[in-house]
Amino acid sequence: MAVVEYKDVSRIYPGSEIPAVNTLNLTVASGELLVLVGPSGSGKSTALRMLAGLEPANEGSIHIDGADVTDFEPQQRDIAMVFQNYALYPQMTVAGNMGFALKQRKVPKAEREAKVLEAARILDLEPYLDRKPKNLSGGQRQRVAMGRAIVREPKVFLMDEPLSNLDAKLRVQTRAELADLQARLGVTTVYVTHDQVEAMTMGHRVAVLKDGFLQQVDAPKELYHRPANRFVAGFIGSPAMNLIPTDRIDGKVTFGSFQVPLDAQTEKALASQPGVAFTVGIRPEHLQLVTSGIPGEVKLLEELGSESYIHVQVQHEDRDQILVVRTDGDATVSRGSTVNVGFNGPVHLFGEDGLRIE
Amino acid sequence: MVEQQRIEPADNGTSGKGGGRARKSSFLSEAWKRRLPLLPAFLIVVVLTQVPFLMSIYFSLTRWRANTAEPREFIGVDNYIDLVSNSFFWSAAWNSILMTVVSVGLSLLFGTGLALLLDRKFFGQGFARTLIITPFLVMPVVAGLVWKNQMLNSSFGVINWFIEGLGMEPISFASRYPLWTIVVVLVWQWTPFMMLIILAGLQGQSSSVLEAAKVDGANGVSTFFQITLPHLRSYLELGALLGVIYLSQVYDHIRVITRGTGSANLPYFVYLRSIGGGWQFGAASAYSIVVVIFSFIIANFGLRVLSGLLTDEGA
């Protein structure tokens, strides 16, 4: 149980001008599972590696449980890390892998074996303790990597895309198991992923990074319903939010011949905005097919069974605009047919600088 | 390799039956289209290696002195029996073993050390690597001459210049420590080779495994002995076996530096008994057959290790 703090942390790789992580300020509460999510190159892995001590911080400081660990070696930080490729020791058995850290700490053999056995029991690895990693399946290797981390009883778990080498079905299953395990152990965890679904389903809070900058850190629901900027709005949610560039006319945001419905507060905020260019964001589930609305042509139909995503091309401010509409699976439209799209829920508005207006 | 060869004929069999009639223009089967271009090389190898080997086996069963008028005479295994009681042979065999084992061991040790130093980024890394590899590129005879004269000569060698500078008597290494002089030169030449193999092994090690060890609390020394060394095991075995195969056949260095005095190994002994002045081709053939048998055993073992290495890495 430990609090992790990043204070104005930056990392500039040698030979690069642009920081991979730029003045990151972030606090992870004790026992929390915080997910760092972002596209590749966003700095999420660098942030994690700095916490592990595998990468130096050029500026700022990192604290674990109040102690400044910025200049500590990884060995001194009392953290355990799960790597994307698992990084198991190939010449050692499963038991050897899991007991390695304890052996380094000169834990007596009997105690070591008891702890390894206990972790193996939690992870269903008991039958495989004598196997070498190469004789294990991907899922089993992943569990060994987890086991290696939990045997240590560290202050913080660091996980660097631990599920990305598993196939889709196993990933979903392991995702739930991992979240459950973390909740049971109650160890502060920093989890890196590029998969926003993983971030949303696992994280107590999710920190979204882009180009080294922290965009927003919030609970998954908050992130979804109140994205702080255009990037977060587009990154979180599947299918992605419809982001439509729009100009303000007569103090109103219009869409074709329709006026975008805004609540009073947003309208007030809008009035004080200097620019004329805005982005309207509408989640696909907040659009629907109606009898009279914005007319458009169905360009693509994605049917998932339980629901369908209908890509409709509409005319907006003299250009073509694709709107993705999420409907239930019974939708009876076909490609090329003409439909009408209407609003059915909250609309997000982002200013010229990309920030949320409300 | 073997499995592929086994699959190919079956493959050709089925496609050949179907395609044979359709394409009348092709008068060669698929298999022969592949074999034919290899045939000349294959024949040359057979003529140049297998035939002389068979002839050697026959010669080893004869008494044949090239410097007398005696005709060649079949004497059965007498040459092999003489070999057992020949003290020169045993001393040459002992020299062979000592020279090979010590040289291979030391060059592996130094090679591993250098590889560890080179397996990190630093300014001039490529240049340093090239310099270190250079001894391996020098011809054995040239290496022998350089060491014998420029380095070790008792009146104008560099090393004796240092020794005299320290106020000590110069040492004529080649005559006082002939075997160890050869070993030093061999280690100097073969350390780069071992370094290359070990370096390949080090660079094949996943960096995240080393990072995991760091996070798990292992320091540099325990990471090396518990993780890197086990990983390098098959590379060390490969280096040792290739080294043994090559170094058990050393001739040039001995010829140039000591002319065999106190340092003749089996190949040099064979040379001395035959074209090196002994002219006993029958007996020399017997010795060389013994050497070949030993080399064959070592090489076979080596190939097994090599294939083990490849399958291990593939998994």
Domain ranges of chain A: 4-233, 239-350
Say yes or no to pLDDT of B179 above 90: no
CB contact under 8 A, B218 and A52: no
**Which run of H or of E encompasses A247?**
strand A242-249
DSSP A4: E
Alpha-carbon gap, residue B151 to B139, rounded angstroms? 16
| CA nearest to A145 within chain B | B212
Alpha-carbon gap, residue B2 to A225, rounded angstroms? 63
Which is more confidently placed, A250 or A241?
A: A241
| CA nearest to B229 within chain A | A91
Q: Six-digit token pair at A51?
A: 């916490």
Say yes or no to pLDDT of A233 above 90: yes
In contact, A34 and A22? CB cutoff 8 Å:
no
B218 vs A84, A90, A104: nearest CB: A104
Cβ–Cβ pairs < 8 A, chains A and B: 64
Q: Which of B150-159, B253-262, B299-308 has the lowest mean pLDDT?
A: B299-308
CB contact under 8 A, B209 and A104: no
Please report the pLDDT score of residue B82 as a whole number: 81
| Confidence band, pLDDT 50/70/90 cuts, at residue B306 | low
Does B79-118+129-314 carry CATH code 3.20.20.70?
no
Whether B211 and chain A come into contact, CB under 8 Å, resolves to: yes
Among A239, A254, A236, A263, CA closest to A314:
A254
Q: Tell me the residue type at A341.
A: V
B222 vs A52, A73, A104: nearest CB: A104
Among B195, B186, B151, B185, CA closest to B170:
B151
Separation in Å, CA of B285 to nearest CA in chain A: 46
Instruction: Mutation target for B interface from A88, A91, A141: give the one with most B CBs within 10 A.
Output: A91
Residue A5 CB partners (closer than 8 Å, separation 6+): A26, A27, A28, A62, A63, A64
Helices (H), chain B: 2-22, 30-35, 39-45, 51-59, 78-85, 87-118, 125-137, 140-146, 158-165, 173-176, 178-203, 207-215, 220-223, 229-247, 252-257, 266-273, 281-314
Taking residues A118-138, report their average pLDDT.
90
Please report the pLDDT score of residue B2 as a whole number: 39
Torsion angle of alpha carbons A348, A353, A354, A356, nearest 10°? -40
Q: CB neighbours (10 Å) of residue B38?
A: 9
| Confidence band, pLDDT 50/70/90 cuts, at residue B26 | low
| Confidence band, pLDDT 50/70/90 cuts, at residue B11 | very low
Q: Could you give the maximum distance between any two Cα atoms of chain B, in Å?
A: 89
Instruction: Mutation target for A interface from B215, B219, B223: give the one with most A CBs within 10 A.
Output: B215
| Confidence band, pLDDT 50/70/90 cuts, at residue B9 | very low
Please report the pLDDT score of residue A298 as a whole number: 93
DSSP A348: E
B214 vs A54, A90, A91: nearest CB: A54
- How far out from the chain centre does Cα B196 lie? 15
CB contact under 8 A, A74 and B211: yes
Residue B37 CB partners (closer than 8 Å, separation 6+): none
Say yes or no to pLDDT of A350 above 70: yes
Whole-complex ipTM:
0.83
DSSP A20: S
Torsion angle of alpha carbons B247, B253, B255, B260, nearest 10°? -70
Separation in Å, CA of A52 to nearest CA in chain B: 7
Separation in Å, CA of B223 to nearest CA in chain A: 10
Model confidence over B189-211: pLDDT tens digits? 999 999 999 999 998 888 899 99
Q: Six-digit token pair at B103?
A: 């040289």
Taking residues A136-158, report their average pLDDT.
90
Alpha-carbon gap, residue B290 to B265, rounded angstroms? 13
- How far out from the chain centre does Cα B248 lie? 7
Position of tokens 């592949």? Answer: B34
Say yes or no to pLDDT of A167 above 60: yes
Please report the pLDDT score of residue B311 as a whole number: 60
DSSP B166: T
Burial label for A131, CB within 10 Å (0-12, 13-18, 19+), is middle
**How confident is the prediction for chain A on average, in pLDDT?**
89
Among A188, A110, A99, CA closest to A152:
A99
In contact, B272 and B260? CB cutoff 8 Å:
yes
A16: three-class secondary structure by DSSP: coil
Separation in Å, CA of B208 to nearest CA in chain A: 5
In contact, A266 and A226? CB cutoff 8 Å:
no
Alpha-carbon gap, residue B80 to B77, rounded angstroms? 5
Architecture of the domain whose range is A239-350: Beta Barrel (2.40)
A85 vs B208, B222, B230: nearest CB: B208
Alpha-carbon gap, residue B292 to A169, rounded angstroms? 58
CB contact under 8 A, A87 and B206: yes
In contact, A132 and A57? CB cutoff 8 Å:
no
Model confidence over B88-142: pLDDT tens digits? 888 888 888 888 888 988 999 999 999 999 888 888 888 888 888 888 888 888 8
Say yes or no to pLDDT of A250 above 60: yes
Model confidence over A32-84: pLDDT tens digits? 999 999 998 899 999 999 999 999 989 999 999 988 999 998 888 889 999 99
| Confidence band, pLDDT 50/70/90 cuts, at residue B16 | very low
DSSP A260: P
Please report the pLDDT score of residue A284 as a whole number: 93
Q: Which residues of B touch A80 (CB under 8 A)?
A: 215-216
Alpha-carbon gap, residue A55 to A11, rounded angstroms? 8
Whether B230 and chain A come into contact, CB under 8 Å, resolves to: yes
Among B94, B52, B57, CA closest to B79:
B57
In words, the CATH class of domain A4-233 is: alpha beta
Alpha-carbon gap, residue B281 to B65, rounded angstroms? 6
In contact, B31 and B11? CB cutoff 8 Å:
no
Which is more confidently placed, B65 or A147?
A: A147
**How confident is the prediction for chain B on average, in pLDDT?**
80
Rg of chain A (C-alpha set): 24
